[in-house]
Chain A
Amino acid sequence: MLTRRSFLQSGVTAAALAAGAGPSRAANAPGVTDSEIKIGQTMPYSGPASAYGVIGRTEAAYFKMINEQGGVNGRKINLISLDDGYSPPKTVEQVRRLVEQEQVAFLFQTLGTPPNTAIRPYCNEQKVPQLFVATGAAKWNDPKHFPWTIGYNPSYQTEARIYAKQILATKPDAKIAILYANDDFGKDYIVGFKEGLGASHAGMIVKEATYENSEPTVDSQVVTLQGSGADLFFIVATPKFAAQAIRKSFDLGWNATRYITNVSVSIATVLKPAGLEKSKGLITGGYVLDVTDPRYKDNPEVKAWKAFTDKYMSAAQYIDANAAYAFGAAATMIQVLKQCGSDLSRENVMKQAANLNKFAAPLLIPGITINTSPDVYDPIRQLQLLTFNGTSWEPSGGILQG
């Protein structure tokens, strides 16, 4: 009986024979020939999350540039990027197509927590590398149970741990009030934050308040939190609610140190609606540099990014933070392929993805590097603390490790 696995294995053998691989060395992955490496991806080009589609387009453009420069070790990158509409059933279908029909060597930057959760068992069962998934959940760092899935973004927990450590270092007697979204996003931060403070400092948190995404405002929560007498306000909120919390805490005359999560630091969509003057003094942690910041005007990576977007994309993508993020992720994948050398088996691809050492991906804030090992599957664990000075985010202090 032809089971799925034996069918796939026969496919692997056929591909290896077609590629002319000798029997003496480990077979290259399917999709790898002397002139090409075929890789797969799912992206929400349609549907509610289609704003992220720019990530897939940037990566395709990046590989086009690499190919025009001669590829990696003479092999061109062929990225097959399919639309899944951010719907997990469609993601499963598209990934099965990529693996079984298109015979890709591995997956790269499949986007979204639910879509990646849906395909993770399949990828690990089939032993197909699921590289650098584009999501901020903490669960991708689980090499023991899912050795074929590796994350990329700093997780919410990592970020929260960094804030906690920073608070312990700079304001050890702070009385902390937290506003957070009552969902997995909010809870991930709380878990990381409490872990970072440690059990002995848990008493520093004097008040917590939650909000539901369906609520019109968080004003009453902010009033309650101020009433607790806290002098440090940690805002774990999505853009709309973050803007409300910033404005309300200022209007109340609450003179607290304010930390805000990385998801709500956009000057255009959060700080301007809240009021730039009212946003002064906010502290956050970042890892992708802001290309519009005049401070980085002469940074060679920013110049390379400008040249890249001029040639392959457009001015709109130049200022898009998601596109800048994708630029770094694509470069990280090329680094993995370079490290693989001539052994492009799936085992080696995974091994090299878990063997990145101080790789400075382009457009990461200078000083932040990518580090992985066989038991550490969260590549970015560092953040640069940033303080808002009324016009832009200004780096303060050194790089912090989560």
Chain B
Amino acid sequence: MGSARALYEDENGLPKPVPKWEGLASSREHDTSSSAAASSAPETFIADVVGASQATTIRAIDDFVTAPCFGFNSVDEYYAHASSAQRLHSVQVPLLVLSAYDDPIAVGSAVPLNAGKHARKDVTGAGAVIQGNPEHVVVAVTAQGGHLGWCDRSNPWGGPAWAERASLGFLEASLGLPVGAAAPGPGCSMKKGLCT
């Protein structure tokens, strides 16, 4: 498989300008409030692929390659623009946002607005999402689960069966299809006290 790096360098191994995302030239951008939308004049960029290929942080890679490619002046501008919470109010089809409260990577996404002492003003979390669009967005938050964890009690190193049943069940029910095998998971046999 060829390396992507070759695409950014000319035959002498020197960096060469490459095209930016072609969507910058069109007017079909959702959010034009960003200053980036207007900066479509130069349609090429020179990426620091050497830096990117040796980077040890996601931020550095986004800074070297992602942000300039998609028309942003800085990596922070890219992150602010790409964050999806700000446009979930527009969604018009059923959408489930499933998060774990102890997720160490997608941090704070599981925090609803009215979470009392758990509220975090510095993070746009799930609460803001359902406030904006209750007819199309449902938010589910588990206390545990980690990032992409949701390991199952009955089979910890198999697939995250609960998260799969929950999300597939949501998609099936929202499309008016019969819900799965409808076989409740092993967890369902354990009776726990209901919250009042």
Bind each other: no
User: Footprint of A on B, CB under 8 Å?
Assistant: none
User: Footprint of B on A, CB under 8 Å?
Assistant: none
